[in-house]
């Protein structure tokens, strides 16, 4: 059966289904179609499916022109009819894996997708999970679910895990040039899944099991979380000592071996780094293992929004102003530069804390038109990429809309906080017109050396 699937893939006869058309799924669907494989996307959101079918991309890393061409040639299509999973020879699951309020893994989206696949599972299908999850999910959860249909691994279907590695907004690394790690629940599964991904990427790294592949993904992002945590702790120490953190890191980075530069920030955000270490530490607890590095890094990183607010308060205090009643302008609310994603963005926690202290908070972000704060102040955010042009709280208490970065806005702010260092912002102008700036990204490094009217406080 493995050979049959691989032959269909090589002959461009295999239909590839992608379940979940978000930041991971849609670019993957497009790459499969570009290689000549018929690509069918599955989405619960009817509006997203309709946009894919008319070639209207809602993901920045997928150009509408490319999607439109593929859709018009019937090489890409999307549907909300999950019974059509039976048409697919390979099915790739790319659904979210959030955390519960208890910081435990929530694999309900994976289970929902797997349930739909089970309803139409047939002989000759390859299923690959890409959603980040704890080691053991593929063979402990999905395999028994699929075999409960009466079909058997290797005899009837193949099952593997290959972690997604997308970096939204990164022009250098896209789906087609990032190496893929593949681990199957059997040798045949590994070989078939590796063959599938070899159609779209230059390098596929095969590992001995799905568990290894699952653990590798968690290690990648836990490595980043722990090292960012160290950089953040160093930043707080340097602030206490009156030392420039960024100069310290720049000096250390001149060492050509044994050091890798990580940089501090206002906190960590996105769909991976804030969440994935919790999947690993949760699995560790199931085996009686205390992952202390992971817990400590999470503690340090989660305190950074509070530290940023303290920097604002200290800066205002030096200017003989109170945080209560102060007008604060945040530059950037996306979790990283030049994208529209606000998932887990530290800006949301900073806004909550500043407003809780009585500050009037406004923000400017060329990519994020509005953010909707939840009851706890951390909510997600409706993101349309356009400016709302409104005031500090929009039409409702829970809504903030982006304001234009006018001269009046900069001059009128008691403090400007650089939370996201979008490249399109004129930071020289910001330094010239602002009174006080808290720079959490070292975006004004040049301006702090060459002058400007603002008093600049670095993280």
Task: Write down the residue that tokens 């009643």 correspond to.
Answer: 325
Say which residues have a Cβ less than 8 Å from residue 275's Cβ, sequence separation at least 6: 97, 98, 99, 132, 344
Q: How many CB atoms lie within 10 A of CB 286?
A: 9
Rounded-to-integer distance, Cα 121 and Cα 124, Å: 9
Give me the helices (H) in 171-209, please: 187-197
Say which residues have a Cβ less than 8 Å from residue 73's Cβ, sequence separation at least 6: none
Rounded-to-integer distance, Cα 403 and Cα 390, Å: 6
214, 134 in Cβ contact below 8 A?
yes
Q: Exactly one of 238, 272, 309, 415 is catalytic; which is it?
A: 272
Continuous segment of H or E residues that includes residue 307: helix 304-318
Rounded-to-integer distance, Cα 356 and Cα 416, Å: 18
What are phi and psi for residue 92, nearest 5 degrees? -115, 125
**3-class SS shares of the chain: helix, strand, coil, % to 5:** 40, 15, 45
Structure tokens at 275: 């969440």
What are phi and psi for residue 278, nearest 5 degrees? -70, -30
Q: Find the Cα–Cα–Cα–Cα dihedral 430, 369, 459, 103, rounded to 10°.
A: 180
88, 126 in Cβ contact below 8 A?
no
β-sheet with 455-458: strand ranges across: 360-364, 327-331, 415-418, 436-439, 455-458
Give me the helices (H) in 83-186, please: 108-120, 143-147
Length, in residues, of the chain: 459
Q: Is 238 a catalytic residue?
A: no
228, 265 in Cβ contact below 8 A?
yes
Q: How many CB atoms lie within 10 A of CB 432?
A: 16
Query: Which of left, alpha, beta for 216 (phi over 0: left; psi -120 to 50: alpha)?
Result: alpha
Continuous segment of H or E residues that includes residue 292: helix 292-302
Neighbouring-strand partners of residue 456: 437
Residues designated catalytic: 272
């Amino acid at each position: 059966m493995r050979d049959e699937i691989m032959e269909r893939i090589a002959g461009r006869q295999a239909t590839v289904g992608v379940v979940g058309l978000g930041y991971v799924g849609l670019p993957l669907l497009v790459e499969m179609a570009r290689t000549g494989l018929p690509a069918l996307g599955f989405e619960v959101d009817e509006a997203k499916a309709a946009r894919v079918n008319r070639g209207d991309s809602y993901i920045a890393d997928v150009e509408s022109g490319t999607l439109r061409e593929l859709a018009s040639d019937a090489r890409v299509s999307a549907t909300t009819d999950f019974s059509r999973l039976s048409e697919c020879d390979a099915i790739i699951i790319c659904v979210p894996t959030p955390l519960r309020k208890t910081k435990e893994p929530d694999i309900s989206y994976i289970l929902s997708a797997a349930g739909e696949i089970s309803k139409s599972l047939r002989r000759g299908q390859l299923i690959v999970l890409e959603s980040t999850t704890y080691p053991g999910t593929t063979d402990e959860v999905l395999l028994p679910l699929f075999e409960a249909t009466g079909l058997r691994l290797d005899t009837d279907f193949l099952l593997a895990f290959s972690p997604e590695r997308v970096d939204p907004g990164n022009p250098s690394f896209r789906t087609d040039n990032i190496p893929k790690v593949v681990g199957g629940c059997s040798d045949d599964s590994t070989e078939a899944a590796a063959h599938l991904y070899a159609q779209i990427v230059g390098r596929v790294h095969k590992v001995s099991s799905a568990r290894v592949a699952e653990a590798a993904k968690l290690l990648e992002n836990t490595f980043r979380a722990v090292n960012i945590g160290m950089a953040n702790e160093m930043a707080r120490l340097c602030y206490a000592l009156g030392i420039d953190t960024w100069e310290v890191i720049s000096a250390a980075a001149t060492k050509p071996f044994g050091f890798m530069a990580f940089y501090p920030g206002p906190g960590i955000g996105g769909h991976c780094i804030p969440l994935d270490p919790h999947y690993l530490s949760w699995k560790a607890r199931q085996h009686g293992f205390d992952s202390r590095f992971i817990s400590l890094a999470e503690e340090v990183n989660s305190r950074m929004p509070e530290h940023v607010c303290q920097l604002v308060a200290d800066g205002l205090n030096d200017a003989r102003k109170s945080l209560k009643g102060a007008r604060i302008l945040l530059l950037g609310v996306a979790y990283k530069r030049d994208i529209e994603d606000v998932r887990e963005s530290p800006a949301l926690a900073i806004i909550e804390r500043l407003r809780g202290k009585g500050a009037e908070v406004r923000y400017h972000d060329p990519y994020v038109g509005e953010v909707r704060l939840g009851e706890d102040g951390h909510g997600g955010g409706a993101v349309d990429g356009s400016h709302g042009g409104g005031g500090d709280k929009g039409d409702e208490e829970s809504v903030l809309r982006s304001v234009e970065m006018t001269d009046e806005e900069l001059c009128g702010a008691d403090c400007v906080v650089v939370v996201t260092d979008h490249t399109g912002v004129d930071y020289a102008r910001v330094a010239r017109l602002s009174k006080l700036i808290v720079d959490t990204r070292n975006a004004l490094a040049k301006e702090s050396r060459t002058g400007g009217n603002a008093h600049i406080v670095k993280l």
